[in-house]
Amino acid sequence: MARTKIVAGNWKMYTLPAEAQALAGAVASFTGGSLSPEVVVCPPFTSLVAAIAAVKSSAVKVGGQNMYWEDEGAFTGEVSGKMLLTLGCSHVILGHSERRQYFFETDFSVNSKLKKALSLGMTPIVCVGETLDQREANQTEQVVRTQIEGCYDGLTAEQAERTVVAYEPVWAIGTGKTASPAQAEEVHSFIRGLLRKKFGNTAEGIRILYGGSVKPDNARELFSQLNIDGGLVGGASLKAESFNKIIEAAR
Ligand code: 13P
């Protein structure tokens, strides 16, 4: 099944609104109306408005980096999926390893957020991946299985098809250590197998992105693997020049 590739930029806690406008604008000029790959930028909440305005006349989509599963309420400091959607976000990153590590995000909370995002018609990008200790203890498959099972618990195949998985080995995030294309493909193929067990043939249509030190010089080889359907890019998404080259590599 042909899967349209996705190149998504996770800007993490970087960019003030003016910087976001310039960066998103440069990505939008490069992308134009092209729908392949699908291009998504995920600025911090305070820069969403600026980025959304900057990509308006292009095919670039904008996503949040997290959300809460209630629409509104007494939840100080939280931002709901409905708020993101209303602002103009089509995508949302869920369960990023930094949220798991520093903000106690669990598979259970990701599952609640995932169901909410789907009910709003948003596209969730669900992050999974093992730490270095877990990889060295040969626990990669076990860790990823637990995460996929927890995050996707109770979803129908129709819902699962509208999600995107991002496999981000924690040891490759921001370290300059990329998983080799073969190492990444091995886990991507394992993840597709897990999804196939849960959702049958629908799994063939689910995009699985790789994240962890994706750069212009390694993107093409990563993206040419059978089960790698694009990338979730951190550091290299903060400069239009490198992010646009990664988009080019996915074409
Ligand atoms: P880097 O590309 O900076 O390694 O970050 C990856 C990441 O965490 C994307 O979500």
Q: Where are the domains of the chain?
A: 6-250
pLDDT reading at 1 higher than 70: no
Q: For the chain, what percent of residues have pLDDT higher than 70?
A: 100
Query: Is the shortest distance between the CB of 212 and ligand 1 below 6 Å?
Result: yes
Q: Ligand 1 centroid vs 200 CA: distance in angstroms?
A: 30
Distances (CA, A) of 141 to 52, 165, 167, 212: 37, 15, 12, 17
pLDDT reading at 167 higher than 70: yes
Q: Which two tokens stand for residue 63?
A: 């996503």
- The predicted model gives 77-93 an average pLDDT of 98
**DSSP E strand stretches across the chain:** 6-10, 38-42, 61-64, 91-94, 123-128, 164-167, 207-211, 230-233
- Report the pLDDT value the prediction gives residue 177, as an integer from 0 to 100: 87
pLDDT band at 3 (very low <50, low <70, confident <90, very high): very high
pTM over 0.85: yes
Query: 90 by DSSP, 3-state: which?
Result: coil
| Mean of the per-residue pLDDT values of the chain | 97
Q: Ligand 1 centroid vs 12 CA: distance in angstroms?
A: 9
- The predicted model gives 218-235 an average pLDDT of 98
pLDDT band at 58 (very low <50, low <70, confident <90, very high): very high
Whether 96 is a known active-site residue: answer yes
Annotated catalytic residue, options 38, 98, 130, 168: 168
Topology at the third CATH level for domain 6-250: TIM Barrel (3.20.20)
